[in-house]
Amino acid sequence: METPILSVRNLVVEIPTRHGILRPVDNVSYDIHAGEILGVVGESGAGKSMTGNAVIGLLNRPAHIKSGEILLSGQPIHSLSGDALRRLRGKRMGMIFQDPLTSLNPLLTVGEQLTETIMEHLDVSYAQALDRAVAALDEVGIPAARARINSYPHEFSGGMRQRVVIALALCAEPELVIADEPTTALDVSVQAQIIALLKRLCRERGVAVMLVTHDMGVIAEAADRVAVMYAGRLAELGPVRDVILNADHPYTAGLMASTPLASQGQKRLRQIPGSMPRLGQLPMGCAFSPRCEFAQDKCKQDPGPTRETCNGRAACWFPLSSTAKQEATQ
């Protein structure tokens, strides 16, 4: 198999605090291949953004990568710092943030922001950069791109601004794009357009996309594979259909049961009782065990292994699909 664009291996991010060391990302591993969208889901505070920030090298102090590896097309980048890392950002990996209203510099025209980024990474003249900037706006579906190149961000609507943000993230043609909740701040009607745009760019350019969201609907719509995070750990990872229809981890199953999805028909929604534990107060064993209806003594003592299951991977002593199988055979 070809080398994945992004390969995260046993990534641990730590934050030293007065009350001890927190691990917002704990032993997370996953790959994303060219042209693939990996959805990363989980409740707010699960560590999704931390993972994305660690990959692109924008962790805010005092958070830092404690151990593990991040490989970009096979090249280790977790130990890069300063200028070497800056050169990769924008050029080989781009990032899209949640709120298009605050992501763009209000006092610079979109053209200025685009050409600056392009000229930083590509060896082109200003005129060429301007042409590329227009092309980038055109590609993300901004009408009359050349006429709007000198507009300021406030002259665009929210959805159009997110398109500009996407153009900015992609204008130097990165291999990897990390989209951190790219639709959360947008109107529902615009969300689908932005997701469709991301899918198209991913397909046409063969970009690897890490799509962070807490919206299962977005995942079902866009992702090829899904990583489910819970309290800093990867609960489950697998192809989107399997994870949605046939979850292995009880947390994933609970998450699905609590989300209205077209593919599930008219099932009654059920909330998982309780809430995700705070980072400083994680239980000894599996972080989900206090809320898990299947939890046994073993689960409360030891977080358990991450197992290969028939779908992918699940960090659970008793993955549902295998227990289901066991029950069936008994």
Ligand X SMILES: Nc1ncnc2c1ncn2[C@@H]1O[C@H](COP(=O)(O)OP(=O)(O)O)[C@@H](O)[C@H]1O
Q: Does the protein bind another protein through residue 33 (CB under 8 A)?
A: no
- Cβ atoms of 66 and 13 within 8 Å: the answer is yes
- Per CB under 6 A, contacts with ligand X among 278-317 are 279
17 makes contact with ligand X (CB under 6 A): yes
CB of 315 to another protein, least distance (A): 29
d(CA 149, CA 141): 13
Site for another protein in 160-179 (CB under 8 A): 165, 168-169, 172
Q: Is there binding between residue 107 and another protein (CB under 8 A)?
A: yes
C-alpha–C-alpha distance, residues 93 and 196, integer Å: 20
Asked if 49 interacts with Mg ion (CB under 5 A), we say yes
Question: Does position 178 bind ligand X by CB under 6 A?
Answer: no
Binding mask 40-59 for ligand X (x = CB under 6 A): --x-xxxxxxx---------
Q: With contacts defined by CB under 8 A, name the span among 19-27, 67-75, 110-118, 192-200 that binds another protein.
A: 110-118
Residue 261's contacts (CB-CB under 8 Å, 6 or more residues apart) are 216, 217, 220, 244
Q: What are phi and psi of 36, to 5 degrees?
A: -110, 145
Footprint on residues 123-152 left by ligand X (CB under 6 A): none
Residue 70, both tokens: 């991040």
Q: Cα 156–158–162 angle (5° rounding)?
A: 95
Confirm or reject binding of residue 87 to another protein (CB under 8 A). yes
Q: Which ranges in 145-282 belong to alpha helices (H)? A: 145-148, 158-170, 188-205, 216-222, 240-245, 250-257
SS3 content of the chain, % helix, strand, coil (to 5): 40, 20, 40
Nearest distance from C-beta of residue 187 to ligand X, angstroms = 21
- Residues interacting with another protein, by CB under 8 A? 56, 58, 86-91, 94-95, 97, 99, 102-109, 113, 116-117, 120-121, 149-152, 154-155, 165, 168-169, 172
